[in-house]
Each structure stands twice: as C-alpha cells, then as structure tokens.
Amino acid sequence: MHDVAYDTRQRNSFCGEMVPEFTRMPIQIFNSLSGRKEEFRSHEAGVVRMYVCGDTVYDFCHIGHARSKVAFDTVRRYLEYRGYRVVHVRNITDIDDKIIQRANQNGESIQSLTQRFIAAMHEDYDRLGILRPTHEPRATEHIGGIIALTRRLVDKGHAYVAANGDVMYSVASFAEYGRLSGRDLDDLRAGARVAVDEAKRDPADFVLWKRAKPGEPCWPSPWGDGRPGWHIECSAMSLDLLGSRFDIHGGGMDLKFPHHENEIAQSCAATGDTFATVWMHNGFVNIDDQKMSKSLGNFFRIRDVLGSGYLRDPEVLRFFLASSHYRGPINYSLVQIEQADAALCRLYTALRDLPEAAAWRPSAATQRFEEAMDDDFNSPDAIAALQTLATQINRAKSSGEIATAAALASELKSLGRVLGVLQLAPEEFLRKSKVAHELGEQTPDMSIARIELLIAARSVARAAGKFKESDSIRDQLSHAGILLEDKPDKTTTWRRL
C-alpha cells in the first residue's frame, strides 16, 4: 500500500493558490476493526476507494442521515484536498420489507415510491452541500451480481438453502465472525430466539436470498424466484465497483452489527481477500440529550429542519454537525443551533467587505487546520483554526491592513471549503432570515425589498437633517430584527439578528 506524497501542486489544485509545504505527519484514522488509530495508506498511490452505506428509500431523510453523510463528505473533501482521487461509492437500498410495506400502505408501486424518495434524498443532501458520490448503485440494478455472490458462497460451503427456500449464510463457517463488533458467537446464539426461524441451522445465521412471497417483487434465481437480503447487497455492489479489497468502509455506529459484521463474513468468505482495510463509524444524534427516536416523538426530518425558518441557511446545520467529532455523539437542540449560527456569522462577518486576494500564502492557521484533520478528521479543532483566522482578519481590518486581511480571508474561504462551509457571499449569508424565538413569539420577518426601501428613505432623511424621522426608521428596522451598520455618510450594510 502507498500513501500519496504531500505536494504543493496537489493542494494548489484544490485551493487555486501557490502555497509552501508544511512538515507534517501522515493521516491517522481510527479503525473500528483494530480499535485504534492507524496511519492511513491507500492500496493504490494517489487513489482512495471508499464505500459508505447509503439509505433505504421508503421515507424522507432525517438528521441522523445528515450526520453520517456530512461526516463522510468531509472525509472525502479532505482526502481530495490532500491530493487523493477519491472513488466514492454510496449505495441505495431500493427493495426491502419496509419499502414493500410502505408502497402497499400508500397504494403505489415500489418504483414510484423509491423514485420519489430518491429525488427527495438528493434534494436534501444537495442543500447541505454533500457532494454526489462517484457511483450511486441501486440494489435492483445489481441483482445479477448478488445472485453470483450468493452462488459462490453456497458452492464454498458458507451458505445453504434452508427448508423454507431462503438461502442462509452459515456464520459457523467463518472463524473470524464477530471481530469487528466484538460479539461472541456463543453469546449471540444464547441470545437468539430459535423459534423465530426454525429453518435456520444456527440461530445466528442470516439470509442472503429471500424466497418470494405471493404478490412481492421477485427475480429468478437458481433457488427459485426471490429477492436479495439486506447484507448481501453492499458486498455485491462494493465488489463490483471497488474490487475485493478497498481502502475505507464507512457508516453509522448502528450498522456495525449486524450489517457490517455480516458484510465482512460474506465478502471475505467469498473472495478470500481482506475486503475493507479501514472501518469508520460515526456517532449517534441525540435530541435535547435524548436518543432520537420516532417513539419518543423527537424525530426530525432534514427538510423539516431546513424549512422551519429557524436556520439562516443550510450551512448552519452543516456547520453544527461539523462542530462535533464524527465518532462521538452529537446533541441536537435549538440552543446548539443558535450557537452554530452565531459562530458561522462571526466567520462570515470577518470575510465581509474584503476584495479578492491576488495571491496568498498560508499562515500557521492552515498548518493547525491540517494537523487537526490529519488526526482522524478532527473537525472541531479544524474549526478552531478557522476562528483564529477570523480573529486575525478582524485585527488586520482594524489596523487598515486590507491586503493582509484579504489574503487571510482567501485562506479562510479555502479551508472552509474543505468543511463545506463559507461557500456563500458574506452579504448573502448575513442578510438571510432567521426566526428569533422570544417568549414564544416570532420576530416579524421583512422582505429584502422592504428593508432596502426603508434604508433608502432613512438615508434621504439623514441627508436632509431629519434625524427624528431617521431614528424612527432605524427603530422600525430594529424591531424587525434588522441591524444597520453606518458610516458617516451612509448605511454601508445591514444584517438580520
């Protein structure tokens, strides 16, 4: 395996600027398989092959999905910043029990249901600045590969046809079963309810191919008409698109067992290869310090959060998600969102009213940013480096060193791009509406056209010496949550509080 050599030209391709090299350590990633941080080295020099488990498309995406997708989008962005070409595969499960049930409940076809929610998923992720994957395979497009992989497991003695017609994987045939999750096979057997499926030889066995039930969608196979089990989908698609050995496999902590454990068992047993070298898992989302759950009524869809009026821009949600380390839990609350909004506003305020720098060289903040991201993608510490840059920009502004401030601003925007933030014009972001909640009441919203009209009227009043009228307009705007920033001769800018 090889690590890509750090080269200023590679970073220039991302930043578009000439910058010097830093003395640096290789990227360290916490590998769930080994339980420790390891130096990352890709199998092919300059290329990272990464598979991230995608969504089962029977409903709208929630903020737990957003947490995982933003985390691995940031991993991808940073690897590309470091000069790697990333082949990113993120699958779509478009056939499964929940999909069939939901389609039947709605009285619509499975294809209609899945197409609708795939379109909604893309819309939500696009709004969060999540890059489209290199490949986005759907389970129904890989039925041939799934059948071929299942046949290989049967032929090698790792799978069998159960009495009910399902094809089952025999966990006893794979000596390393449980290595990723730390589960003991005897404990799993003891905890299983054998009566749930008496067709199994072992209570821990899992299904690879499901025998079709009347009225269900199905495909022909050597074992009769049926459809794939959940776990075999990812193994077949990763094998087809990335090969039998690739660099990174990612997903939520909830997928570690049984999904990822089963992927390892069936993939390694079928190919005799190592499958994924590094396993990465992101932490859960809590809501007001409680686990997010539909049963608790604290379940938030991405589009509901983005459409609530409480967020100034989708970047605020992304910034909030990046403010916690991807491996740890994150607590979603209105207070936390307010804090993320305020922090992002400070960064955008530092960028405001500055020209584009013709050329710039990175400061020590870039080195701190890279050191943080090299250490298992430590985005909170990387954000701290961005905040340091903002402080330096404001100091340079105050001293009248506009060229220095502009260069630092270019550096800040370049690093922000790695985290998927600071992508808007500062004025655009700062002028966007954010609903303020005070004593249960909403501050009146006001259109941009109305704001500009009142500012123009106030400027006329000030020029005519009608200061009482000018102050009245300012009070009206202030009551609507609009902050004016004046220079002696005019109002130079405004933003919503």
Measured between alpha carbons, how far is residue 31 from residues 26, 67, 82, 247, 376 in Å? 15, 19, 20, 11, 10
Are residue 103 and residue 233 in the same domain, yes or no? yes
Q: Domain total for the chain?
A: 3
For 470, list phi and psi in degrees, rounded to 5: -60, -45
Are residue 236 and residue 349 in the same domain, yes or no? no
Are residue 237 and residue 337 in the same domain, yes or no? no
Measured between alpha carbons, how far is residue 224 from residues 141, 169, 324 in Å? 19, 17, 48
Are residue 395 and residue 277 in the same domain, yes or no? no
* Final residue before a domain boundary, out of 375, 399, 431: 431
Q: Are 300 and 334 in contact (CB under 8 A)?
A: no
User: 365: domain CATH number?
Assistant: 1.20.120.640
Helix (H) or strand (E) holding 72: helix 63-81
**What are the pLDDT digits (tens) for 158-167?**
999 999 999 9
Q: Tell me if 293 is assigned to some domain.
A: no
Q: Average pLDDT, stretch 267-271?
A: 98
Are residue 29 and residue 160 in the same domain, yes or no? yes
Are residue 220 and residue 351 in the same domain, yes or no? no
**What are the pLDDT digits (tens) for 110-146?**
999 999 999 999 999 999 999 999 999 999 999 999 9
User: 126: domain CATH number?
Assistant: 3.40.50.620
Are residue 213 and residue 248 in the same domain, yes or no? yes
What does pLDDT average to over the chain?
89
Has 98 been labeled as part of a binding site?
Answer: no
β-bridge partners, 375:
28
Q: Which domain range does residue 342 map to?
A: 329-431
Has 397 been labeled as part of a binding site?
Answer: no
Q: Tell me if 273 is assigned to some domain.
A: yes
Are residue 56 and residue 170 in the same domain, yes or no? yes
Q: Encode burial over 29-46: b for 16+ CB neighbours within 10 A, e otherwise.
A: bbbbbeeeebebebeeee
Q: Are 327 and 30 in contact (CB under 8 A)?
A: yes
Are residue 224 and residue 337 in the same domain, yes or no? no
Has 259 been labeled as part of a binding site?
Answer: yes
Query: Which residues are within 8 A (CB) of 219 and not within 5 positions of it... i.e. 6 or more apart?
Result: 143, 147, 225, 226, 227
Are residue 103 and residue 165 in the same domain, yes or no? yes
Q: Distance between CA atoms of 344 and 91, rounded to whole angstroms?
A: 32
Q: Tell me if 412 is assigned to some domain.
A: yes
Q: Which tops the pLDDT comparison, 263 or 360?
A: 263
Q: Would you state the pLDDT for residue 196?
A: 54
What pTM does this model have?
Answer: 0.84
Are residue 151 and residue 277 in the same domain, yes or no? yes
Has 294 been labeled as part of a binding site?
Answer: yes
Q: Encode burial over 55-75: b for 16+ CB neighbours within 10 A, e otherwise.
A: bbbbebbbbbbbbbbbbbbbb
Sheet with 226-228: strands ordered across: 159-161, 167-169, 206-211, 226-228
Has 15 been labeled as part of a binding site?
Answer: no
Residue 125 exposed, middle or buried by CB count within 10 Å (0-12, 13-18, 19+):
buried
* Final residue before a domain boundary, out of 232, 262, 285: 285
Q: Distance between CA atoms of 384 and 47, rounded to whole angstroms?
A: 29
Confidence of residue 436 (pLDDT cuts 50, 70, 90): very low
Q: Tell me if 164 is assigned to some domain.
A: yes
Q: Tell me if 294 is assigned to some domain.
A: no
Q: Tell me if 324 is assigned to some domain.
A: no
Residue 360: how many other CB atoms lie within 10 Å: 20
Q: Tell me if 31 is assigned to some domain.
A: yes
Sheet with 290-291: strands ordered across: 290-291, 285-287, 330-332
* Final residue before a domain boundary, out of 431, 447, 480: 431
Q: Tell me if 87 is assigned to some domain.
A: yes
Q: Average pLDDT, stretch 410-428?
A: 97
Terminal Cα-to-Cα distance of the chain (whole angstroms): 52
Are residue 261 and residue 382 in the same domain, yes or no? no
